[in-house]
Amino acid sequence: MARLVVLGGGVAGHTTATFAAKWLGKEHEVVVVTPNAKWNWIPSNIWVGVGEMSKEEVTFDLAPVYEKAGITFKQAKAVSINPEGKEGADKPFVTIEYTGQGKAGESEEVTYDYIVNATGPKLNFGATPGLGEGSQIGENTVSVCTADHAVHANQELRKIFEKAAKGEKQKILVGTGHGMCTCQGAAFEYIFNIEHEARKAGVRDNLEIKWISNESFLGDFGMGGLHMKVGGYVVSSRIFTESLFAERGVEYITGAHVSKVEKGKVDYELLDGSTGEEPFDFAMLIPPFAGVGLKAYNKAGEDITDTVFAPNGFMKVDADYTPKPYEEWKASDWPRKYQNPTYSNMFAAGIAFAPPHIISKPMKSANGTPINPTPPRTGMPSGIIGKAVAHSVCDLIQNGANAHLHEASMAEMGAACVASAGKGWMDGQAAAMTVYPVVPDYEKYPGTGRDTDYTFGEIGLAGHWIKHILHYLFIYKAKLKPGWTLIPE
Amino acid sequence: MEQPLLKYPDPRIRLISGNVRFFNETLTDIIADMTDTMKANDLEALSAIQIGIQYNVIVLRENGTFTPYINARFIKEEGKAAAVERSTYYDFTAEVERYTSLTVVYEDETGQMHSRDARGDLARTFQHHLDYAYGSTFVDRVPLAVKKQIDAYLDQGLVKDNRVKGEESETCPTVFVRDYIKRAYRYGMLAVAVTFTLPLFANAEWVAWAVTIDKIAIPLVLALIMAYFFYAEYEAKKYKQCTSCQTGNILGTVAIGFVQWLALSAVFYFWMLPS
Ligand SMILES: Cc1cc2nc3c(=O)[nH]c(=O)nc-3n(C[C@H](O)[C@H](O)[C@H](O)COP(=O)(O)OP(=O)(O)OC[C@H]3O[C@@H](n4cnc5c(N)ncnc54)[C@H](O)[C@@H]3O)c2cc1C
């Protein structure tokens, strides 16, 4: 009997664990180590953040789902990995610290045959002075990255709406809280959902809504831009987003690194090296992401964190990490198997793997401050990678160490972003943007590295419906209700 | 060397340009060709794509000197004003709203980064030409109504297909067959919906006739939606490298179609049948 330990029960980890449990059956054990008792469909947190959904609607208890699937659930956070075991015991293990199940604070060593690191991001609020401490958000801004953050964001937003309803002018600032953030898509959805709610509440006239982001152009989204169909024509996401901002009366600052946050004000540096400040009454700024800070030790107990993890805390996998200038970036730099090069029974999926470099064009301000989006690894690639890794591990367990590993390169994956711009069955709006491949392949597609022939979808109500249906579909899938395997990642 | 300027309806007008990554001889040649083309046509500014080169390069003529602006980005956009613009692609003009002041961040021909403030006409020229680099023209910046007028005026529309003939992409199709099925069931539903107005003015005989038609059409629409689903799934498998979310999109489309179909059936049942 072999044991697979999955660290993190988010999009990637949940996918890996549930598929592995299904494919491995009762003969082998799948363990999930994750600190929260509830699963959260993160993309719908946007709607929690504007009060259109409750926390309960976007989360559910993991224990009964894992019980049914025959997965061992440990509500704990992983602290360190010993891939070579320790003095006197060869079996590799992971040290975890319980956060619930009546054992909060207790430590345990969980041995494994295979391990998948799907711990997602550490929300690194501490990177920007005033944004927060470590992974804790500060008091100056709100966030929608977790369901609890989103609940709080909505409470603060309602206060702003109340003031605006009394005729007080209010300023809303939404975007990225650092020069090296990803996840612009989430902030983009949030700003337009706020705008939509403000119009519904009749307070739009008293709100000034502004976007601030590290993208070098509107619509970069950390992917160097996408494209979409508008009125039958293929249009760059830059043209489309600029039009949407103009149409909805939202101003923007691009190419910005937020350098400091204070109560009611941010300081920022721009690509041309100039600085500025922007006041606000309400700000939702996405923090930069880092790895969750797992440590690794060898058999002798020496720290080998640098061998297993990249400096940003994400796990090294089969990518080409040689530092290269922009002109030498290749699609083949990106990982295919997500296997750690040093320890072959160790994999990483979702945000937890270290990307070889960014996707957008690298940019630095005149003062040398990097101001460019870091690569997004959205829900879809996270799920697809999670499933491929589950496949590989199952084959390794069932067919032996020479089994063929499954591949899923982000340079061969398309992405479709259905971005919500307002919720409502009748007046909702969402934009469907596509990109293929996610990571540009300059050899196959000279110039942009992308195949712009591939598109689908337009902005409008239908887009919103799709987004809303996806919400139910994915929660249904994650709960492993009948037929869950038919629903794609 | 002077190069021919792209003219409507050349599909390359709609190509999105890539960033320049190599600052080498090829780039120098591109800039030289652009400069020659500008001289020959007496142009003040030119985007590389205007001579069919798919890279983000703009050359500007000021006081007789030609300066390349590579991988340009705008920051600090401020103020807005409308003015008439003319495209080198199309033979017409339209009033377009643009920022009156902005800062251009760009690279020179050695890859060195610079920035420059631009106001008024200069700011407008930059915006107009960067749009070209993004596969776009001022037509994408005008209100939808004006855009429709322009579209109607052009005999081939606004250039829908940006592929150059003979360069068919073998991997991913531009048009999926499933979209035709979708269109068919949508027209079907529309036709049925139209018959719902009959009881308001037509006589009983006409209505009875429409009911019979609807009785055939409604199941047919459902059958088409199902056909859409299965065909689309097949197509998604066939082209599964083209995007990872096709199934989600298909399910969404089917769900919407199904809800519309349910609504249609309900109206038929409660409104058409009794009348
Ligand atoms: C507001 C918002 C909106 C978004 N909208 C979209 C969208 O519309 N479409 C889209 O495709 N993507 C969207 N995304 C991105 C998407 O949510 C992520 O790409 C996806 O969740 C990444 O999956 P993951 O499994 O790598 O990480 P996560 O889902 O974050 O999962 C990581 C898990 O690891 C756990 N964990 C953390 N530390 C430890 C530890 N030490 N030990 C064990 N477990 C640990 C966490 O509790 C969590 O459960 C959005 C993101 C945000 C924040």
Asked if residue A300 has pLDDT above 80, the reply is yes
Angle subtended by helix axes B246-267 and A461-478, to nearest 10: 110
Q: Please, which residues 349-378 of chain A have a Cβ atom closer than 8 Å to chain B?
A: 361, 363-364, 366
Query: Does any ligand 1 atom lie closer than 6 A to the CB of residue A438?
Result: no
Residue with tokens 């020229």: B125
Ligand 1 atom nearest residue A49's Cα: 1
Separation of CA B239 and ligand 1 centre (Å): 28
Summarize the confidence of residues A375-385 as an average pLDDT: 88
Cα A103 from Cα A74, distance rounded (Å) = 10
Q: Please, which residues 438-457 of chain A have a Cβ atom closer than 8 Å to chain B?
A: 442, 446-457
Asked if residue B130 has pLDDT above 50, the reply is yes
Asked if residue B165 has pLDDT above 50, the reply is no
Q: Are A349 and A338 in contact (CB under 8 A)?
A: yes
Residue B40 structure tokens = 């020959």
Among the listed residues A199, A213, A203, the one whose alpha carbon sits nearest the alpha carbon of residue A281: A203
Under the banding of pLDDT at 50, 70 and 90, the label for residue B160 is: low
Residue B45 has a pLDDT of 96
Under the banding of pLDDT at 50, 70 and 90, the label for residue A457 is: very low
Q: Are A474 and A39 in contact (CB under 8 A)?
A: no
Separation of CA B105 and ligand 1 centre (Å): 34
Does a structural domain hold residue A320?
yes
Separation of CA A404 and ligand 1 centre (Å): 28
> Within 10 Å of residue B258's Cβ, how many Cβ atoms?
14
Q: Which of A242-246, A424-428, B48-52 has the highest mean pLDDT?
A: B48-52
What confidence tens digit (pLDDT) does each residue in B231-262 have?
Answer: 888 887 777 655 545 666 777 788 888 999 99
B164 or A38, which is more confident: A38
Q: Please, which residues 121-150 of chain B have a Cβ atom closer than 8 Å to chain A?
A: 131, 134-136, 140-141, 144, 147
Q: Please, which residues 225-244 of chain A have a Cβ atom closer than 8 Å to chain B?
A: 225, 227, 230-236, 238-239, 243
In one-letter notation, the amino acid at residue B141 is R
Asked if A466 has any chain B CB less than 8 Å from its own CB, the reply is yes
Residue B41 has a pLDDT of 95
CB pairs A-B closer than 8 Å: 163
Query: Does any ligand 1 atom lie closer than 6 A to the CB of residue A313?
Result: no
- ipTM of the predicted structure? 0.89
Helix runs in A70-183, H state only? 147-165
Strands A275-279 and A265-270: antiparallel
Asked if residue A321 has pLDDT above 90, the reply is yes
Summarize the confidence of residues B210-238 as an average pLDDT: 87
Summarize the confidence of residues B75-87 as an average pLDDT: 93
Does a structural domain hold residue A104?
yes
Cα A257 from Cα A270, distance rounded (Å) = 6
What confidence tens digit (pLDDT) does each residue in A74-93 have?
Answer: 999 999 999 999 999 999 99
Among the listed residues B179, B190, B253, the one whose alpha carbon sits nearest the alpha carbon of residue B221: B190
Domain count, chain A: 1
Summarize the confidence of residues B125-144 as an average pLDDT: 91
Which residue of A lies nearest to B136 if distances are taken between CA atoms?
Answer: A235
Summarize the confidence of residues B174-184 as an average pLDDT: 81
Asked if residue A104 has pLDDT above 60, the reply is yes
Residues of B in contact with A255 (CB under 8 A): 73, 75, 105
Q: Are A51 and A158 in contact (CB under 8 A)?
A: yes
Q: How much is the CA Rg of chain B, to the nearest whole Å?
A: 26
Residue B79 has a pLDDT of 95
Give the C-alpha distances (Å, rounded to integers) separating A129 from A150, A184, A256.
22, 20, 15
Query: Does any ligand 1 atom lie closer than 6 A to the CB of residue A470?
Result: no
Summarize the confidence of residues A160-187 as an average pLDDT: 96
Asked if residue A452 has pLDDT above 80, the reply is no
Ligand 1 atom nearest residue A14's Cα: 25
Residue A474 has a pLDDT of 75
Q: How much is the CA Rg of chain A, to the nearest whole Å?
A: 22
Among the listed residues B32, B110, B124, the one whose alpha carbon sits nearest the alpha carbon of residue B71: B110
Give the C-alpha distances (Å, rounded to integers) separating B103 from A271, A284, A437, B44, B190.
10, 26, 31, 19, 50
Asked if residue A124 has pLDDT above 50, the reply is yes
Asked if residue A373 has pLDDT above 90, the reply is yes
Summarize the confidence of residues A287-291 as an average pLDDT: 96
Q: Please, which residues 310-339 of chain A have a Cβ atom closer than 8 Å to chain B?
A: 326-327
Asked if residue A434 has pLDDT above 90, the reply is no
Query: Does any ligand 1 atom lie closer than 6 A to the CB of residue A375?
Result: no
Summarize the confidence of residues A202-230 as an average pLDDT: 92
**B262 CA to chain A: closest CA distance, Å?**
16
Give the C-alpha distances (Å, rounded to integers) separating B33 from A34, A326, A425, B16, B129.
59, 25, 53, 20, 17
The CATH superfamily holding the domain B11-169 is Peptide deformylase (3.90.45.10)
Residue A409 structure tokens = 């390169």
Among the listed residues B124, B19, B128, the one whose alpha carbon sits nearest the alpha carbon of residue A225: B19
A349 or B169, which is more confident: A349
Ligand 1 atom nearest residue A45's Cα: 1
Does a structural domain hold residue A169?
no
Every domain of chain B and the residues it spans: 11-169, 177-272
Domain range for residue A315? 3-123+289-399
What confidence tens digit (pLDDT) does each residue in A265-282 have?
Answer: 999 999 999 999 999 999
Backbone angles phi, psi at B103, to 5 degrees: -115, 130
Residue B261 has a pLDDT of 92
Residue B81 has a pLDDT of 95
A298 or B155, which is more confident: A298
Cα B213 from Cα A244, distance rounded (Å) = 43
B251 or A340, which is more confident: A340
Asked if A270 has any chain B CB less than 8 Å from its own CB, the reply is yes
Residue B166 has a pLDDT of 43
Summarize the confidence of residues B189-205 as an average pLDDT: 88
Asked if residue B179 has pLDDT above 90, the reply is no
Residues of A in contact with B20 (CB under 8 A): none
CATH of the domain at A87: 3.50.50.100
Threshold 0.95, pTM exceeds:
no
What confidence tens digit (pLDDT) does each residue in A27-49 have?
Answer: 999 999 999 999 999 989 999 99
A226 or A63, which is more confident: A63
Q: What's the whole-number average pLDDT of chain A?
A: 91
Residue A78 has a pLDDT of 98
By CB atoms closer than 10 A (0-12, 13-18, 19+), residue A46 is buried
Asked if A273 has any chain B CB less than 8 Å from its own CB, the reply is yes
The H or E element containing residue B249 is helix B246-267
Does a structural domain hold residue A117?
yes
Asked if residue A468 has pLDDT above 50, the reply is yes
Asked if A179 has any chain B CB less than 8 Å from its own CB, the reply is no
Under the banding of pLDDT at 50, 70 and 90, the label for residue A466 is: low
Which residue of B lies nearest to A243 if distances are taken between CA atoms?
Answer: B141
Summarize the confidence of residues B165-175 as an average pLDDT: 53
Which of A6, A7, A11 to probe ligand 1 with, by most ligand atoms within 8 A of CB? A11
